[in-house]
């Protein structure tokens, strides 16, 4: 089943405008919202986006390491 409306460049442009507008709104709100931080780091500007990026990098790095450890030879099932 193909999604026909998503293939049109006009619709994709509209979705990107909505997406970037939402990101800009979140970026703008970050400066004005008071945070009830329990730790010092939580109160820093852009702590949670930076924390999320580093967490994602850590998860992908761990997945690469585990895949190299568990990797089998290409002829494993032929033996």
What CA–CA distance (Å, rounded) separates 32 from 8? Answer: 37
What CA–CA distance (Å, rounded) separates 31 from 44? Answer: 11
Q: How many CB atoms lie within 10 A of CB 29?
A: 9
Instruction: List the domain boundaries for the chain.
Output: 1-33, 36-79
Q: Which residues of the chain have pLDDT under 50?
A: none
Indicate yes or no: pTM above 0.85: no
- The backbone torsions φ and ψ at residue 47, rounded to the nearest 5 degrees and listed phi first, read -65, -50
CA angle 51, 52, 56 (to 5 degrees): 120
pLDDT at 66: 95
pLDDT at 49: 86
- 55, with CB counted inside 10 A (0-12, 13-18, 19+), is exposed
């Amino acid at each position: 089943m193909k999604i026909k409306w998503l293939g049109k460049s006009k619709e994709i442009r509209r979705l990107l405008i909505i997406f970037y507008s939402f990101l800009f709104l979140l970026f703008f709100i970050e400066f004005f919202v008071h945070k009830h931080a329990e730790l010092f780091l939580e109160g820093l500007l852009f702590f949670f986006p930076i924390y999320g990026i580093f967490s994602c990098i850590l998860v992908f790095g761990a997945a690469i390491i585990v895949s190299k450890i568990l990797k089998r030879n290409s002829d494993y099932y032929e033996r």
